[in-house]
Amino acid sequence: MANKILIIDDDNHLRESLAEVLGLEGFDCLEAGNAKTGIASAKKNMPDVVIMDIQLPDSSGFQICQELRKFSKDFILIMMTGRFLSAEEKTQGLSLGADEYLTKPFDLQELSIRIRQLLTRKGK
């Protein structure tokens, strides 16, 4: 059974293209356009990996991270950002339970390899 990945990003193109690419790599992708639907989808579908943008219209990636960690320790949480993150931001994200950071644009081959490694580490 293919691993499930939830992508939360308000940028439709980015979200869709990423889903298509990961689909090619053999992942089963879910999409959400904002934090609220994203969290609801994660709780309902229980994906293995959640990839989220740090900045969302109704919330931030950090809050989603916090929310989902409370709900389950099993999620692999990956944060995406378009800009450099300061050391504080990185520390904050990691303390809230983020597993990986991605700086846009990212090497997709590398991304799929990283996801598989994380999945292997979690024993999925």
| Interface residue list for other proteins (CB under 8 A) | 11, 13-14, 17-18, 20-21, 24, 80-84, 86-87, 103-106, 108-109
Specify the residue, 1 or 87, whose C-beta has the smaller distance to other proteins.
87
**Least separation in angstroms between CB 120 and other proteins:** 22
C-alpha 63/C-alpha 42 separation (Å) is 14
Specify the residue, 43 or 104, whose C-beta has the smaller distance to other proteins.
104
**Least separation in angstroms between CB 36 and other proteins:** 21
Given the structure tokens 């869709």, which residue do they identify?
A: 16
Specify the residue, 94 or 108, whose C-beta has the smaller distance to other proteins.
108
